[in-house]
Amino acid sequence: MLILEIMLSLLFFLAFGPWCVYSEERLLVEMTLVPNATVNGAVCLDGSLPAYHLHRGFGAGVNNWILQFEGGGWCNDIPSCLERAKTRRGSTRYMNKLEVFSGILSNNASLNPDFYNWNRVKLRYCDGASFSGDSKFDNGTSLLYFRGYKIWEAIIHDLLPKGLATACKALLSGCSAGALATFLHCDNFTKMLPSNASVKCLSDAGFFLDERDISLNYTMRSFYLDLIALQGIEKNLNQNCMRSTNNSKLCFFPQYALKYITTPYFILNSAYDVFQSTFPQQFHHSLIPPSADLHGHWNRCKLNPAMCNANQINVLQGLRHDMLVALNSFYKNSISGGMFINSCFAHCQSESQDTWFAVDSPRIHNKTIAEAVGDWYFSRRITKEIDCPYPCDTTCHNLIPSAQV
């Protein structure tokens, strides 16, 4: 009996390799550090090595790749970046060495029908600027590395000889701050792959608007401008966008950069994205920053959309309106583009199994997010789904997320 168990264990190891650990319900994938990253200064905020998690494809998907940028907000000044450097958001030293792969990263055909057998990679986020910065802070006492762009390049160069260089199909995806990274790196990713590869990009909850808050201030714009200046981002923004925009730094916003991206693109977003609308007050760069709600009139609404009064609902409907206006040209003119804009109070819907593809997943016209993305990627049909306004959608999974996004 012992010999049989050993043989079964050996067969399991040979079949699946040392990079993954399975439980009954979860796929856990081991972290891979990028050993040569320091040669080019591609390090996290604290100087630690960057990392990713790779689960190999199989069968018909062995030459296809999904790269998923991890999300996690930003830091736009020295104090917040120093604090971040002591956490998993700024250092691989504090990260879990095993990551759950679910949703679009699942290897289960019944849970991820179009991409389950692809090579799936999660790029860990440790630079605080959506993988876009290239500078350093050193005042003799404190040292911070803002090397997100170099981290992106280092991970790609580590993956190319592992099969990415011969990819037939590829999808660059991301959630939240990671979704913003897809806007910044989409065309660059296409150039790194074979010219005959089918390369496309997906943003999940990354269409951050250049929107006035309820005090009519550009809080998010101000936050981003500080971020761009601190981390040396401007030189890595879309050059065509920068040449065509009066304020080149605004090309950090997807609504300005999108029309200059030539790679086929899919935008998955809630029209009432909780990061931009009713997100908890720890985040000041939103539609309702604490500075604009000193008396806490929005507190109950932030916890439950059903508690919002008529005026607050009107403000949220205004956010939806502005998002659809910003996407109007993409909706009408992009032949290769796709959309799934639902009316759920959510943030990041592709990595969570219950929102990606499940019996009770959110739907628009009876189509799940996974089905919409798959139809678009494989050109099965045009996929530009826009939900009716809140509160009409009864399929939503309304989320009140934690402070870590």
Q: Which residues are catalytic?
A: 176, 273, 347
Residues 6+ apart with CB under 8 A from 59: 117
Asked if 276 and 266 count as a contact pair (C-beta separation under 8 A), the reply is no
How many angstroms separate the CA atoms of 45 and 90, rounded?
5
How many angstroms separate the CA atoms of 70 and 351, rounded?
10
Burial-class residue 394 by CB neighbours within 10 Å (0-12, 13-18, 19+). exposed
Identify the bridge partners of residue 22 per DSSP, sorted by sequence position.
Answer: 27
Give the phi and the psi of residue 171 in degrees, each rounded to 5. Answer: -135, 120
Decide the pairing of beta strands 64-69 and 169-174. Answer: parallel
Question: What is the DSSP code (8-state) at residue 393?
Answer: -
59: left (phi over 0), alpha (psi -120 to 50) or beta: left
Give the phi and the psi of residue 33 in degrees, each rounded to 5. Answer: -80, 150
